[in-house]
Amino acid sequence: MASSQPNKDYARKLLKLMLGKDQEFRPGQWEAIETVAVKKQRVLVVQRTGWGKSLVYFLATKLLREHGAGPTLLISPLLSLMRNQIEMAERIGIRAITINSANQEEWKAAEEALGINTCDILLISPERLNNEHFLNQVMPKFSGRIGLFVVDEAHCISDWGHDFRPDYRRIIRILQILPKSVPVIGTTATANNRVIADVQAQLGPGLTILRGSLARESLRLQNILLPRQSERLAWLAENLPKFNGSGIIYCLTVADTERVAVWLSKKGFKAAAYHAGNGNQIDREALEQAFLRNEIQILVATVALGMGFDKPDIAFVVHFQCPGSVVAYYQQVGRAGRATDRSYGILLGGEEDEEIHNYFIESAFPDVDVFQAILQQLEKSDGLSIYKILENVNTSKSKAEKALKLLEVDGAVGKTMDKKSLYFRTPNPWTPDINRMNQVTDLRRLELAQIQEYLNHQDCLMMFLMKALDDPYPTVCNRCSNCRGKGLPKEVSPELVIEAENFLKEETIIIAHRSFLPSGLFPGQKRRLPAELQIEQGRSLCYCNDPGWGKLVKQGKYTDGYFSNELLQAAVHMIVDTWRPDPFPAWVTAIPSLRHPTLVADFSKKLALKLGLPFYPVLKRVNNAPEQKTMQNSSMQARNVIGTLAIEGKLPDGPVLLIDDIIDSGWTLTMAGYLLLKEGSDQVYPFTLAKATGNS
Amino acid sequence: MTISHDSQVILLLCSHLGLPADPEFPPFTLRDWNPLAVKLQSASMRPSDLLEINSIGLQSQLNLTEEEANRIANLLQRSGSLAIDLERLASLGINVTTRVDSDYPERYKQRLKGSAPSVLFYAGEKALLGQPGIAVIGSRNLDEVGQACAEFVGNACGISGLVLYSGGAKGVDTLSMKAALSARGTAVGVLADSLEKAIRDPENRSAISRGDLCLATPYSPSAPFTVGTAMGRNKLIYTLADYAIVVASDAGKGGTWAGASEALKAKWLPVFALEHSLMAPGNTLLIQKGAIPFPHPFMGDRLKLYEWMENQSLSQSKTETAFQPGLF
C-alpha cells in the first residue's frame, strides 16, 4: 500500500504501462483523476468518444485502491462492449468484473473475487441497484465498501438529456444521499449547456466540470437525400466498395437491418444484421467479435450497437435512415475513424423516417390511464405478476413494463425480491407527472427538427454538429462535402434501383406460430398449445410501413375499400413461386369482419380463384367485437377472438389457407387456427397482406 | 430523502444494512454504542466527526483500542452501499430515524434512555409514535373473551382519538388494530420482523397512505421473525403508550409474560390485565404482581376509557424521569 499522496508522475508511469511508452496524458485526463483520487471530490467529464474516459477511471481506481479504498462501482447502461477496455486495465493490475442479467454463470466467480478483495472495478447496469441478488448477495461480499462511483452516460441524469432512462433518477437519489467524502465521476460524450447545468443542479455545487472539444479530425461528413428504399439500397451497393474498409450501417428498425443485410449479402458483401429485437435471438457478442476481426465487413445495426463498442479502424458509418437527434447522430457517426486518417459519415435520409420517428415518440410513454389502471389492480392485492396485471389492463406488455418501470422508479410500485417478481403497490403517493412526460416528448420533437435541419444544411456539417452540441470551440472542418464542394455521387444506376425494387417485393416475411396461450385465457388449462392445435408457419406479403406494397395495402383498407389487382398478383406470385407450402392448401378461408364485411372476403375469393382452390367462409363473427387492434395485449386479444369467432358448417378436407389483411400480434390467426384445428381441420397456413411494424 | 451526516454515521455503525450475515466487523449493539456515544460527547464531538478521522486519530482522540478503531473505520467505509439501500427503502415507502434526529420518538429516549434503539425504520405517519394512546398486548391465539376485548379497546381508541399501539402480529394485535382503523382511528404497530412484507398488505398500505397507521421496527426491514427480536420489541410497544392492557398471558413463560413483567418492574406506564372467569393463568399472576384488573365486559362509557384507566391508576406512581439531553 503506497503511503504518500498519488502524484502525476506515478500516474504517468501507469498510463505508459497501459497504452505504451510514447503515450502522454491528454488535456483534462490528469485533472479528472486528481479531482477524484487526490481531492476525493466529484467530477463530470464531457469528452468525445475515444478521448479516453475509461483511462481516467481505471487510473483513478488504481490510485485509490493502492491507498486502501474499496472497489469502484461503475454504473453503465451499456456494458456489452467494454471488453477491450477491461483488457487494457489488466495491464496495470486492475481487475474489472461485470455483473449483469446475461452472465449469471460468472456471478459466483465475481462474488468470490469481491470476497477476497481481488476485484477492483465492478461494472453493473442501473437496474442492478434495485436487484435482490445484487443488494443481498453481491454488496455484502465486500461489505459495501465502494471506493469510487462512476456514472457512465451521465447526461441521463438530466431530463433534458437526449436519452431518457428512468433508472437514472434512482442514481440521482443515491448520489444525493451519498456523503461528499465518496468521490464520483460522471462521464458523457455529449451534453449541451442545459444538460450540464441540470447535472450540476442535481449533484451539487461541488461538481468540477471538465469539457473538451467534440471535433473529430478524420471524419468526412456528407448528407444524401434518397427518398425511396430501393434507391438507398442501390446507392449502398454502388458506393460501399469505395470506402476500402469495414463499416457500420445504422437502421431504425429491426426489419430494416435484416432487409439491408440480406440485400448486401446478395450483392457480395460480408454483412450481418445486429439488433436486440424480436425473439429471433442473434448472438451479438459473436457478431461483434467477428466484426472486430474483420471477418464481417459490414454490421447493419440498430441502436442496440452500444457506445462501448470500440473498433478503431472503422472506415465508414452510413445511416440508411435518419436518426432521431443530432446527439444520436454524432455519437453513432463518431464510431468511424477513431484511429484512421480518413473515414466517412454518410447520412441518407428516406421517406419513411418521419413515420417511424413519430411512432417512437408517441409510444415513448404509456397513456396516463394505463398507469392508473395498473395501480388500481395492484391496490387490490399484495402482489401481482405482469401476466396477472395484463389480464385486466388493456395495454401491451411492453407498455405495461414501461409504465411499471416508471412507477417503480417513482416509488409507487415495488417488485418482490424473489424469483416470482411480483409487483406491488407501495404506500408512497403517486400522481402522474404529465408535465414531465410532455416535456420529454416536446424535446424529442425539437431534436427531430434539428436533425432535419442538419440533413439540409449547406455549410460546414461538422461545425453544425459542434454548435448544436454547445461545443466550446466550434471550427470549420474543411473535410465535409460542403466544405470541399464535392463528395460521393448522389446518382444511382437505374438498373440497380430496379433490382432493389424487385428484391424488396420478393422479401420473405414470416408469420411465426405461437405455442403458448396467454395467461388466464382458459383458467385451469395448460398454457402450452398442443402441437396439433398450432397453426403452421405463414407469410406476409409486406410490412405496413413499406413504401411499396405497404402503401397499397393501407390504401386498399382505409381509402378504396378493396385491395388492388397488383396486390392480388403479388400474393399469388408469392404463394405459388416463393413460399410453396407443402402440402399445398386444398381450400381457402378468411377472417370475417363485421366492420368491413367484404374487404378480406372478396380478396380471398379472388385469390382462391387464381390459385384454383375453393373458397369456404366457415368462420363467422358471433358478437360485434371491438376491433382487434384496440386490444393491447395477448390476454385481451386472444379473449377477444375466442369470444367472437365461431365455425359454421362442416369443414372441408385438406390443408387450409387462412387469410387476413394485416397481422399485428398474431392472436387473431392463432386463435382462428385453434378453432379450425379443434374442429378437426388439417394444416392451417396463415397468410396476410401486411405485417404491422414498429420496434427497434 | 435527506439524511443528516450524524444519522448516516449511526446507521453505518449500528445497523446491519449492506452487511453480510456474518460480517468480519459486526455492527455496534447498544451495549457497544452507548459507551462510544458518551466518549464522543465528552470529547465535544458529533457522530459525523468520525467520518473525518482515520483509525490512528480515533485511537488517540477517543482513547480507543486499535481493534475498536479498525472496526469503526471499516463500518464507516460502506456509505456507498448504505446510500443504495436507503434509496431503495425510501422508494418502497420505508424511512429511517436515529437517536440523533429531532423527530426520533421522545418517549423512547425518556423511558428507555440507553436502551432506546439507535435506529428505527418506519412506514407511515411518524408523528403518531408517542401520541396519547393505549397498547394492547397478548397472544396470537385468543379465546372469545380475548377477541371481544381486543376489538373493544381498538374501537374505543378509534372513536376517542387515541392511538392503538400493538406489535402488529397476528391475533390480538391485528384484531385491535383493525377495530381502531375501521372506526377511522389511528394505530401504531411496532414490528419484530418483516416490515417490508407488512406494508404490502392492502389494508395496511391503504391505512398508511391515509396517514392513519405507522408501522415501525428497530430491525432490518427485511429481517425474518426470531424469538429474540420479538422479545426485544415488546418494550418498544409499552414505552410508546400511556396505558397497556395485557389480554392473555402465560404464567412465568413466553414473550407476553416477559414483556409485561418487565413493564411492571420498570414502571414505564400503568399496566392492566384482562380479568374474567376463564382468564389465562398468567393474567392472575400479573394482577398479583401489580397489574390493574381490566374487567370484561367493560361496563362504562367507551368514550371515557382513557379517563377510567387514568383514575384506576392514580394510586400508582408513574416514573417519568428527566431525559439526558444529547444522547446520540
Q: What is the pLDDT of residues B9-56, one digit of tens each?
A: 999 999 998 888 888 899 999 999 999 999 999 999 999 999 888 888
Mean pLDDT of all residues belonging to chain A: 89
**Inter-chain touch A177–B200, beta carbons under 8 Å:** no
- What does the alpha-carbon distance between residue A620 and residue B122 come to, in Å, rounded to a whole number? 59
Dist. CA A634–CA A175, nearest whole Å: 40
| A151: helix, strand or coil | strand
Task: Summarize the confidence of residues B99-128 as an average pLDDT.
Answer: 94
CB atoms within 10 A of CB A516: 12
**Shortest Cα distance, chain B CAs vs residue A289, angstroms:** 35
Distances (CA, A) of A312 to A240, A246, A294, A308, B170: 19, 10, 12, 12, 65
Over 90: is that where the pLDDT of A606 sits?
A: yes
Q: Are the C-beta atoms of residues B213 and B240 closer than 8 Å to each other?
A: no
**Which residues share a beta bridge with A121?**
A72, A96
- CATH fold label, A219-358+448-502: Rossmann fold (3.40.50)
Q: Which of A382, A406, A408 is the best residue to mutate to test the B interface, defined by the most B CB atoms within 10 Å of its own CB?
A: A382
Over the range A133-164, which residues count as b (16 or more CB within 10 Å of their CB) and which as e? ebbeebbbbbbbbbbbbbbbbbbbbbebbbbb
- Three-state DSSP state, A601: helix
Contact state of B25 with A427 under an 8 Å Cβ cutoff: no
Task: Fold for A8-211, please state it.
Answer: Rossmann fold (3.40.50)
Residues with Cβ < 8 Å from B104, sequence gap 6 or more?
A: B97, B98, B116, B120
- pLDDT (0 to 100) of residue A2: 46
For A276, other C-beta atoms within 10 Å of its C-beta total: 17
Which residue ranges form the domains of chain B, and what is each CATH number? 5-92 (no CATH), 123-312 (3.40.50.450)
Regarding beta strands A619-621 and A413-415, do their DSSP bridges make them parallel or antiparallel, or are they unpaired?
unpaired
With 90 as the cut, is the pLDDT of residue A683 above it?
A: yes
Identity of the residue in A173, A177, A428 whose CB atom sits nearest the CB atom of B93: A428
Closest to A159 (Cα-Cα) out of A211, A198, A201, A209: A198
Give B208's contacts in chain A (Cβ within 8 Å).
427
pLDDT in tens, B167-204: 999 999 999 999 999 999 999 999 998 999 999 999 99
Banded model confidence at residue A105, pLDDT cuts 50, 70, 90: confident
Please, what is the angle between helix A599-611 and helix A565-573, to 10°?
A: 50
Confidence of residue A400 (pLDDT cuts 50, 70, 90): very high
Mean pLDDT of A225-244: 94
**DSSP letter for each residue of B209-238:** HHT-EEEEESS-TTPPP-HHHHHHHHHHHH
Put simply, the answer to whether B80 touches A428 (Cβ < 8 Å) is: no
Chain A CB contacts of B123 below 8 Å? 427
Smallest CA-to-CA distance from A123 within A110, A132, A142 is with A110
B91, A130: Cβ pair inside 8 Å?
Answer: yes
Structure ipTM over 0.90, yes or no? no
Asked whether residue A81 carries a pLDDT value surpassing 80, the answer given is: no
Note whether A376 and A407 are within 8 A (CB).
no
- Provide the grid cell at B157: 381508541
**Among chain B residues, CA nearest to A408:** B91
Query: In A, which residues are within 8 Å of B212 by CB distance?
Result: none
Grid coordinates of A399: 407498455
Averaged pLDDT score across all residues of chain B: 91
Residues of B in contact with A382 (CB under 8 A): 200-202
- Report which residue type is found at A15: L
Of residues B102 and B140, more confidently modeled: B102
Decide if A144 contacts B75 (C-beta within 8 A).
no
Distance between CA atoms of A638 and A386, rounded to whole angstroms?
17
Chain A environment of B84 (Cβ under 8 Å): 129, 135, 139, 144, 174
Question: Comparing A219-358+448-502 with A508-691, is the CATH topology the same?
Answer: yes
Q: Which three cell numbers stand for residue A447?
A: 431534436
Question: What average pLDDT does range B65-94 have in this prediction?
Answer: 93
Q: What is the pLDDT of residues A13-71, one digit of tens each?
A: 999 998 889 999 999 999 999 999 999 999 999 998 778 888 999 999 999 999 989 99
Q: Tell me if A300 sits within 8 A of A251, measured CB to CB.
A: yes
- Whole-angstrom Cα distance, residue A143 to residue A6? 25
Quote the Cα angle for A578-A581-A584, to 5°. Answer: 125
pLDDT recorded at residue A1: 44
- Are A177 and B87 within 8 A, CB to CB? yes
Architecture per CATH, A362-436: Orthogonal Bundle (1.10)
For A179, name the nearest residue in chain B, comparing CA atoms only: B79
Contact B275, B296 (CB under 8 A): yes
CA atoms within 13 A on the CB side of B328: 27
From the list B1, B200, B205, the residue facing A177 with the nearest CB is B1
Mutate which of A148, A177, A380, A413 to disrupt the B interface (most B C-beta within 10 Å)? A177
Stretch among A131-140, A553-562, B250-259 having the lowest mean pLDDT: A131-140
Closest CB from B5, B23, B209 relative to A179: B5
Shortest CA distance from B201: residue in chain A: A382
Q: Which residue is closest to B125 within chain A, CA to CA?
A: A427
- How many Å from the N-terminal Cα to the C-terminal Cα in chain B? 21
The pLDDT of A508-515, averaged and rounded, is 81
Q: Which of A350, A26, A377, A359 is nearest to A212 (CA)?
A: A26
Residues of A in contact with B82 (CB under 8 A): 144, 177
Domain regions of chain A by residue span: 8-211, 219-358+448-502, 362-436, 508-691
Q: How confident is the model at residue B325 (pLDDT cuts 50, 70, 90)?
A: low
Question: Is the Cβ pair B83, A428 closer than 8 Å?
Answer: no
- Section A277-291 average pLDDT: 77
| pLDDT over threshold 80, residue B222 | yes
Query: In the Cβ-directed half-sphere of B92, how many Cα atoms lie within 13 Å?
Result: 28
C-alpha cell of B63? 482513547
Residues of B in contact with A139 (CB under 8 A): 18, 81, 84
Does residue A662 carry a pLDDT above 80? yes
pTM: 0.82
- Classified as helix, coil or strand, A181 is coil
In A100-245, DSSP assigns E strands to: 121-124, 148-151, 184-188, 207-211, 219-225
Rounded Cα distance between A430 and B164, Å, is 28
- Average pLDDT, stretch A161-165? 75
Q: Can you tell me the distance from the alpha carbon of A612 to that of A576, in angstroms, rounded to the nearest whole number?
A: 11
Output the pLDDT for position A522: 76
Could you give the CA distance from residue A5 to residue B228 in angstroms, rounded to a whole number? 48
For residue A173, give the nearest of B25, B87, B92 by CB distance: B87
Range from A131-140, A452-461, A574-583, A587-596 carrying the lowest mean pLDDT: A131-140
pLDDT at A278 over 60: no
Residue A4: Cβ-neighbour burial (10 angstroms; 0-12, 13-18, 19+): exposed
**What share of chain B has pLDDT > 90, as a percent?**
74
Tally A–B CB contacts below 8 A: 122
Task: Determine what percent of chain A is predicted with pLDDT higher than 90.
Answer: 54
The reply to whether residue B24 touches residue A379, judged by beta carbons under 8 angstroms, is no
Residues from chain B that touch A414, judged by Cβ atoms under 8 A, are 91-92, 200
What are the tens digits of pLDDT across the range A405-427? 999 999 999 998 777 889 999 99
Query: What residues of chain A have any CB closer than 8 angstroms to a CB in chain B?
Result: 70, 73, 129-130, 135, 139-141, 143-146, 149, 170, 173-179, 181-182, 379-383, 408-411, 414, 417, 424-429
CATH class (in words) of the domain with range A508-691: alpha beta
The reported pLDDT for the residue numbered A546 is 75
- 3-state SS assignment for residue A413: strand
Question: At residue A332, what is the residue type?
Answer: Q
Closest CA to A235 of A244, A243, A248, A226: A226
Chain A positions touching B181 (Cβ under 8 A) are none
Taking CA atoms, B305 is separated from B157, B158, B274, B302, in Å, by 8, 11, 14, 5
Give chain A positions within 8 Å (CB) of B21.
140
